[in-house]
Structure 1
Amino acid sequence: MTDDLVSTESVIELRIENIALLFDPLDPFPTPSRDLSKTAEDFIVEWARELPRRNPIRLILHIPQSGQHDLSQLQVAFSNHFRQRARRVKGDIDELFGVGRTSLMIGLATLIACVLGGQVAVMLLGSGSAARILSEGLIILGWVANWRPLEIFLYGWWPLARRRKLFQRLAEMPVEVLTT
């Protein structure tokens, strides 16, 4: 294996005065089950987005030496938090596809109705300009009704899938604590 193919580790560094600031103060659960604070999560996620996607990520926490710190559950807490975030995004993807399926059924029914309506217009009004305008307008309307489901199935889920993969990477990252 050449050196070009070996991925290097990407590092996120976070300096914090107190470990408690990493966690949501309103979450009543003990540390391994607590959610990260919005600020800490946003900082980590934004930094991770800028890192190469193929590299594993490692988190280094810089904390002051003074004070009591319960460091034993930090790895579990970070893994639990980001694993839960990945599950939530998976639920968002599933919900989006559900909306897409419903929208597709409505869109296809609308398209069929518009095509049939256009044919009826030609039969009733003849082959004149009014019948063609009405017929083609209905066909355009039928295709426009399918715009949203096509957008969902072709492009709409990509950002969510990328976010889920990022959360999965963050759930696997080792956490290292350095005292200053």
Structure 2
Amino acid sequence: MELSETGRGDMSLQIDRLARLFEALPFDPAHPEMTREPGVDVLAERISDDGTPPGGRLRITVTEQEVTPAQAETVTRALRVYCEQRAQALRREVARVRRNGRSGLKGGIPTLALALVLSALCEQFAPFPAAINRLFSEGLLVLGWVVLWHPLEILLYAWRAPIRLAKAYERLAQMPVLLQGRPATP
């Protein structure tokens, strides 16, 4: 599989057979460096990573015997459906991640509030020697914020990569596809 950008958002993918567009290859110990993901996923990752501008075309090059007018229409339709389904799945995943983040906040915020109250009580009433009071007071503050760490990370960052990838699949679904053949290599 060979992927290249040809300018103005155009992309070119050269694959050995059309099925490789949607199928992953099994791991081959003789060629561990080989790209195994389906061609469409490689394209979406590239668009997501590079921010390929919208409005480009996708040129898919395969062996001549696989290129027919009917096959070109089938590939275009299959690519659109596959990309739309992947984008929808990623958006559902983002919704699930955000729900998990909000759910974590439901437990984290009261825990932080309790930790703040206990820390203030520890400082105000000083039930232990000064060094131990400070240890408990500071420890409770740290504990309260640590409990919020993961939910905040989810809400602030975890959804960004999947949403960027979903947008890449949506852009890929809209790209006009040009299927072209090349002579088969022996």
Q: If the TM-score is normalised by the length of the shorter chain, which range does it land in?
A: 0.7 to 0.9
Q: Which residue of 1 aligns with 2:147?
A: 145
Q: Deviations over 1:11-70 (max 9, x none)?
A: 222234433443449xxxxxxxxxxx9432233234434654333231112233335743
Residue 76 of structure 1 aligns to which amino acid in structure 2?
R
1:75 Cα deviation after fit: 1.1
* Larger displacement relative to structure 2 (143-152 or 81-90): 143-152
Structure 2, unaligned stretches of length 5 or more?
Answer: 1-6, 25-35
1:63 aligned counterpart, secondary structure? strand
Q: Deviations over 1:106-135 (max 9, x none)?
A: 111211221222244343606833223212
Q: Which residue of 2 aligns with 1:115?
A: 116
Q: Deviations over 1:66-107 (max 9, x none)?
A: 357433221111011111111111011101101101111111
Residue 174 of structure 2 aligns to which amino acid in structure 1?
E
The 5 A counterparts of 1:7-18 are 9-18=8-17
Count how many residue pairs are aligned between Structure 1 and Structure 2.
Answer: 162
Q: 2:166 aligns with which of 161, 164, 167?
A: 164
Cα–Cα, structure 1 residues 133 and 51, in superposed 2: closer, same or farther, change >3 Å? closer
1:13 aligned counterpart, secondary structure? strand
State the distance in 1 between where 2:66 and 2:152 align. Answer: 56
Matched, 1:66 2:68: no
* Larger displacement relative to structure 2 (69-78 or 102-111): 69-78
* Larger displacement relative to structure 2 (111-120 or 153-162): 111-120
Identity %: 27
The 5 A counterparts of 1:6-45 are 9-24=8-23, 38-45=37-44
Root-mean-square deviation over aligned CA pairs: 2.6
Asked if 1 retains the 8 angstrom alpha-carbon contact of 2:13 and 2:59, the reply is: yes
State the distance in 1 between where 2:66 and 2:145 align. Answer: 65
Asked if 2 retains the 8 angstrom alpha-carbon contact of 1:12 and 1:47, the reply is: no
TM-score by length of structure 1 reads 0.76
State the distance in 2 between where 1:151 and 1:67 align. Answer: 47
Residue 89 of structure 2 aligns to which amino acid in structure 1?
R
State the distance in 1 between where 2:80 and 2:19 align. Answer: 17
Asked if 2 retains the 8 angstrom alpha-carbon contact of 1:10 and 1:52, the reply is: no
Residue 178 of structure 2 aligns to which amino acid in structure 1?
E
TM-score by length of structure 2 reads 0.73
Cα–Cα, structure 1 residues 129 and 84, in superposed 2: closer, same or farther, change >3 Å? same
State the distance in 2 between where 1:126 and 1:21 align. Answer: 69
* Larger displacement relative to structure 2 (160-169 or 9-18): 9-18
Structure 1, unaligned stretches of length 5 or more?
Answer: 1-7, 26-36
